[in-house]
Structure 1
Amino acid sequence: MKHLLWAAACLAVLAGGSAAHARVTRLEIASEQAYGSFAAGEYRRLDGRIAGDLSPEAESVPDLDKAPRDAAGRVSYGARIVLFLPRDPAAGNGALLVDVPNRGNAYANALYNAPRTVPMAAGDLSAGTGFLEDRGYAVAEVYWELGRGAELPSFTDAEGRRRFVEGVGFAIVRDAADFLAHAPADAAGTANPLAGVVNRTLGTGKSQDGRFLKTFLLHGFNRAEGRRVFDGMHVFVSGAGLLPILQSGTGPVSSADRTPNFSDPDYPGVNDGPLTIGEVVAKVEARGEVPPKMMLLNSTVDYASLRASLGRTGAQGTADLPLPGNVRMYDVAGSSHVTVVAAPACERPPGRLDWAPVARATLQRLDGWVARNEAPPATRLMPLQPATDDPTVLQAPKSFPGAVVQVPQRDADGNPLGGVRLPDLAVPLGVHGGQNAPLTTFTCSLVGTFRPFPRSPDATGGGPASLAERYPDRQDYVNKVRVAARAAEAEGFLLPEDVAVIVNAAAETPLADPKAPASPPR
């Protein structure tokens, strides 16, 4: 019956009817290759393109009505898509994870599959540790952005300039996710490779694309054919920002390319509001929609460089506003917005706290929350303090004179208090999460710093306590790491396999070698 209803809807649209406001008309798979063998079985990688069309009258996309239409009065789009699927569809866990690429770079593997000490760069499509595949997720990379994998409709404005309808990027992700989760085939009869095996859909996005997901939700794109598109959203380091693509741009890059920074603190469209997820969810519920279950993760550096505190307090004062029941928020203490091995343009070595284990653990908890209504970890945040007039902190936008940017409070060593505390922070070898320089170089404002503690006591008696004073021997250090790791596991922020890796790394840390440089356990 489901197949018959879908076919009837497709025929009605092909005949010029209005049974569907938006749809994927074609799924074109250009190549297929083996991706590897994992705990859930063999995986394959499919590279291709999706094509779809939209009804300008039914979409809240500015300027869509100005784009050329086909004979049925609809506007077409196309986009790159990459799928990572179990070769045996029944071997999957039933979850479809839709990753929203960042400036044309897929991010799911860097977020969830990155091995310790070797952070994966955005755009890396290699399997890494294979965490997602071991757990049976079907993964879709859906490209949406102007100049970076999406073919957006365009028109010529009154001044003769070509303009691209960038808001269609939201429709692309919506239509692709809904198609993969629910359709047996496209309008041309090409089978959906996930037909019948998806029972829940999760959206994930980091930074720019965490802002994509919040804006997607705010403006009603989480509905398709009368049903919810994403049942859960995993939103990383999005600060208090949104994504300004509900406009038409002239290219070559999209309106989503830039964000407020130390060189341009009042860049428009990102921190113009709403600032808090509570405001977003209130608008969703006011429309009668059931919002997805959401987890929002912040890095320590986000507070100083991306105004993350405004995502907690909004545009007025310093008090945290209540979070909706469908939302959990976690601060990863000491972490950087971006984890890199080296940052040659910056004055100090970058931070290296590995927060991929928290991404993995919270994805599992989000999936359990969505699939079985299992209670997730409670919100865990760092206590804050105002940072007014601090030149190392990106201050509030001028459009919100009552907003106060705050940063994490720190202990006597300089490490942040509270939040999700990995063993790196609970049993520190140095100070994590400081600001790098020059802050006017955007990358340097996001990579943070790590400053190691001295190995031996300072002869003058000044400075922070040394490693020798903190940890009498390696056994003491490893035992403290083990205790901290087990505590994080019990709280839901580490998985058992990551606990083992962290403890093994601690056992290899050369505390007893005075010639070896101090480095955080990874």
Structure 2
Amino acid sequence: MNTSENLMRATPLNACKAYVQCGSTASARGWFDNGGFARVLRKRRRILTTIGAAVLIGSNVCTTIIADARVTRFVVEQRQPYAGGAQFGDAGTFERLVGTASFEVDPNDPLNAVIVNLDKAPRNARGMVEFTAPFWIVKPVDMSRGNQKIWYAINNRGNSDLAFRATLADVPTLMAKRLELGFAHVDAGWHGDGIANPGHLPTTNIFTLPLIVAPWKPYEAADTNTAHATMTVRDRQDAPRTTIPPDRWAFGQCATGQGGLVPTTSDLCLFDGFQANKMYELIYTAKNPIVMGLAYAVTRDVGSFVRYQTQDDFGNPNPLALSPTQIGIRRSYTWGSSSTGMYLRDWLYLGFNEDEAHRKVFDGASINIAGTHRLFANVQFAHPTFYSRQDANHDYTSNSYPPHTFAVTTDPISGITDGILKRPATDPFVMQIDGDLELWQFKGSLHVADGLGRPVPTPANVRLYFISGASHGQIGQGVLSGPLDAAAPGACQYGQQRTNPVDATRRALVVAMDNWVDKGIDPPASNYPRLENGTLVPLSQIRATFPTIPGFQAALMLENEVNLLNFGPSFNSRGGLEEILPPIAGGGYQLFQARLDEDGLPVSGVRQMEVRVPLGTNTGYNMRAAPRLPDQCGLSGAYFPFATTQAERIATGDSRLSLQERYGDHTDFTLAVMRAAKDLFREGFMLNEDAIRYIQTAASSAVLR
């Protein structure tokens, strides 16, 4: 997808306001890591007293003011062949549509009352708030050849699964499987703070930084008097802050230092220059917050329109309808990964799976690699692209308030009784898929164990799957990590995984989700580490039992600790206004990690091929290189290949068996892959076609030849 389209097609940007203009301003906090990227943690403080205009803009959403909790206009503006006209199973050829949806939401409707600042947004003559968003659809050219089902794939920071694909080879394997099954795909813009201007924060010493790195739009400073703001610097996330004197920095641009200062409200000039590998935090007074919670209404109302309506208010057809009088859609599912997995957890919690007609929007929700975080987009001065990690943004909102669980439970730290799924009439079937990293960085253990280390239940309409040995996201296509080397470490201390081939499991679970919802066939039981069977253990046990791997310092391993955060009385589990910055840390939560075997691989969860027949130790954990050691290395995992022979491993002091000790020769290695593929197929975590692919890859590999 090209940048201008991805970030709302650029041309309307100047035509749209990007804010709710405030009569009174609010405090904000920005945070920068000059180790190659920037972070703005938050903008918030007092409640707004007057509002001049309320609209969204950006990476995926622009508002021009319209609304009634529904789509009023749905206009297709572009239509093009998908994947060069490739055939996908019985569904045949697909096409890609691009257009704009217009919305009206009623600020007095109880379903919309949860949206922060919606009551302050401008209204049309009918008392509705209006906005627009771009949409993308990939559908069978002949809808009657499809399966009359939808996957609504929520884009991550504007990066959509529904991007243009010139050839079949360009289509990701997970997407290709869903197309082969006949699903139509839908996505719509929701991110209200993007701009059509990609950029990267340099790692060299420089004088000027934007308040937030492109392509995200910063909240402008309402007060540029630096004496009224606080800027600090530190070496690491947990290091003490040092305040930078207000006469050593300014709001503005200064490419050559203080002498070249040009004042602005959206840039930051440090007269002595920003240093690489330092963390800078700014608390300042911001203005013009976006009504970011309308993002959730976009997903609800587009999802409802394409499922239930044959045309919009102006007679424009729903492109997924079979005819002007027949919609034809039988089932609808949604998918969110990483940040958009957090988005879906928050979206479900806030009740957006119920449309204005009180119908269920999605029958099933597939949430990928989100841990127990929620996005908290429904916050004044929200920046939903950012999230809590051990090494950055540690006390950000995604880490702040329960509920952490799908089931309604009582959180022992806060005393709050709540759950993500508490509306049986409209709650969907849910599958959440996490990997190793989601336990280390996104507090995954809180799915199944509360903050005091006591087991918590999983609802019958939820499946939790832990993918053993998996890092975060899709590093590369393919199967079987190479046996001889890891990828370059980059900013990390240890070599990274060359591939993170979790798509085989995800593809199998696409089929399982559809069978669960549409045919009543139960999917595989939840498979997540748990306290009850001893597969969930404290960090101290991981440090003590991690195998001896040359160069790896297990004693330094850290997890993303979590405390109940107090942002003030106007902030709660549903979002709101953050008045205390930085937040006050309250009681801490006990976290756990997956128990490991003698190779450093989890003994529980869905043990994918790379764990059942390993060529090395794949982990969802890595450390940053000096000077940030031993912080975790963002969302990167690590790969530690096995030695080929016993003599090699003994010479290096590696406690893990060598390839020869494990498999003997190439034939036995291939047979081990064959047995594991059959087991994964039988368990429901691998499709037959992927089992064949693994076996063929093993047979043709160079392992032990």
Contact 2:79 2:95 in 1 (8 A): yes
**Which position in structure 1 is the counterpart of 2:80?**
33
Q: In the aligned structure 2, how far is the partner of 1:305 from the partner of 1:142?
A: 28
SS in structure 2 at match of 1:371: helix
Q: Which runs of 5+ in 1 are unaligned?
A: 1-19, 116-123, 514-522
Superposition map of 1:5-404 within 5 A: 21-35=68-82, 36-39=86-89, 40-58=91-109, 59-60=112-113, 61-107=115-161, 130-148=176-194, 161-195=287-321, 196-224=327-355, 225-249=357-381, 254-279=383-408, 283=419, 286-287=422-423, 289-314=425-450, 316-340=451-475, 344-351=490-497, 352-382=499-529, 383-387=535-539, 391-397=557-563, 399=565, 401-404=587-590
Q: Distance in 1 between matches of 2:172 and 2:604?
A: 34
Provide the C-alpha distance between the structure 2 equivalents of 1:426 and 1:260, rounded to a whole number of angstroms: 29
Q: Aligned in 2, Cα 1:381/1:286: closer, same or farther, shift over 3 Å?
A: closer
Alpha-carbon distance in structure 1 between the residues aligned to 2:596 and 2:173? 37
Take 1:129 and 1:228, find their aligned partners in 2: how far apart are those partners?
Answer: 24
Given that 1:242 and 1:273 are in contact with CA atoms closer than 8 Å, whether structure 2 keeps it comes out as no
- 2:333–2:362 contact (8 Å) kept in structure 1: yes
Identify the range of structure 1 (384-393 vs 368-377) with the bigger mean alpha-carbon deviation.
384-393
- 8 Å contact kept, 1:104–1:149: no
* Helix, strand or coil at the partner of 1:458: helix
- Deviations 1:83-141, CA, capped at 9 Å, x for gaps: 0000110111122100111111124789xx998xxxxxxxx877887222111111112
Q: 1:391 to 1:284 in 2, by over 3 A?
A: closer
Q: Structure 1 pair 70/86, CA: closer, same or farther in 2 (3 Å)?
A: same
Question: Structure 1 residues 476, 446: CA separation in 2 closer, same or farther (over 3 Å shift)?
Answer: same
Provide the rounded CA distance (Å) in 1 between the counterparts of 2:665 and 2:632.
37
Residues 346 and 438 in structure 1, CA contact (< 8 A), matched pair in contact too: yes
Q: C-alpha distance in 2, partners of 1:243/1:358?
A: 25
- Take 1:293 and 1:282, find their aligned partners in 2: how far apart are those partners? 18
CA distance in 2: counterparts of 1:379 and 1:233, whole angstroms: 15
- Distance in structure 1 (CA, Å) of the matches to 2:76 and 2:474: 33
For residues 330 and 285 of structure 1, the distance between their equivalents in structure 2, rounded to whole angstroms, comes to: 18
The percent of aligned pairs where both chains have the same amino acid is: 28
Secondary structure, aligned partner of 2:472: coil
Q: Is the 8 A contact 1:22 1:175 kept in 2?
A: yes
Look up the equivalent residue of 1:30 and give its one-letter code.
Answer: E
Deviation, structure 1 residue 244: 1.1
Distance (whole Å) between structure 1 residues aligned to residue 610 and residue 557 of structure 2: 27
Alignment partner, residue 510 of structure 1: 702
SS of 1:444's equivalent in the other structure is coil
Cα distance, 1:275–1:412 mapped onto 2, change above 3 Å? same
Deviation digits for residues 202-260 of structure 1 (CA, Å, limit 9, x no counterpart): 0110111111111111111110111111110000111111111112327xxx3443334
Name the counterpart of 1:445.
634
What amino acid sits opposite 1:37 in the alignment?
Q
Aligned residue for 1:477, secondary structure, equals helix
What letter is aligned with 1:366? M
Structure index of larger Rg: 2
Does the 8 Å contact 2:339/2:385 carry over to 1? yes
Aligned length: 479
The SS at the match of 2:134 is strand
Aligned mate of 2:690, from 498, 514, 518 = 498
**Gaps spanning 5+ residues in structure 2: where?**
1-66, 197-216, 224-284, 322-326, 410-416, 477-486, 530-534, 541-554, 566-585
Match of 1:469 among 649, 652, 661: 661
User: Aligned partners of 2:407 and 2:392: how far apart in 1?
Assistant: 29
Residue 23 of structure 1 aligns to which amino acid in structure 2? R
TM-score (norm 1): 0.84
In 2, are the aligned partners of 1:80 and 1:143 still within 8 Å (CA)? Answer: yes
**DSSP 3-state at the match of 2:87:** strand
The 2-side partners of 1:451 and 1:428 are apart by 11
Code of the residue aligned with 2:537 in structure 1: it is: Q
Contact 2:87 2:93 in 1 (8 A): yes
| CA–CA separation in structure 2 for the residues paired with 1:67 and 1:476 | 67
- Looking at structure 2, the residues matched to 138 and 456 of structure 1 have their Cα atoms a distance apart, in angstroms, of 50
Paired with 1:207 and 1:221, the residues of 2 have a C-alpha distance of 19
- For the 8 Å contact 2:149–2:330, the answer to whether it is kept is yes
Kindly indicate whether the alpha-carbon contact (under 8 Å) linking 1:114 and 1:128 is maintained by their aligned counterparts in 2: no
CA spacing shift, 1:28–1:232, aligned 2, 3 Å: same
After TM superposition, give the deviation of residue 443 of structure 1 in Å.
Answer: 9.2
User: Contact 2:436–2:468 (CA<8 Å) still a contact in 1?
Assistant: yes
Name the SS for the 1:359 alignment partner: helix
Secondary structure in structure 2 of the residue aligned to 1:201? strand
Work out the CA distance in 1 between the residues paired with 2:599 and 2:665. Answer: 20
* Separation of aligned partners in 2, 1:272 and 1:361: 33
Q: 1:257 is aligned with what amino acid?
A: F
Report if aligned partners of 2:339, 2:375 keep a CA contact under 8 Å in 1.
Answer: yes
**Residues 26, 51 of structure 1: 8 Å contact kept:** yes
Q: Relative to structure 2, which stretch is displaced further, 264-273 or 329-338? A: 264-273
Q: Give the deviation of 1:283 after TM superposition.
A: 5.0
Q: Which residue of 2 aligns with 1:4?
A: none
Between stretches 82-91 and 430-439, larger displacement belongs to: 430-439
User: Greater CA deviation, 396-405 or 504-513?
Assistant: 396-405
Sort the Cα spacing of 1:143 and 1:421 in 2 relative to 1 into closer, same or farther, 3 A.
same
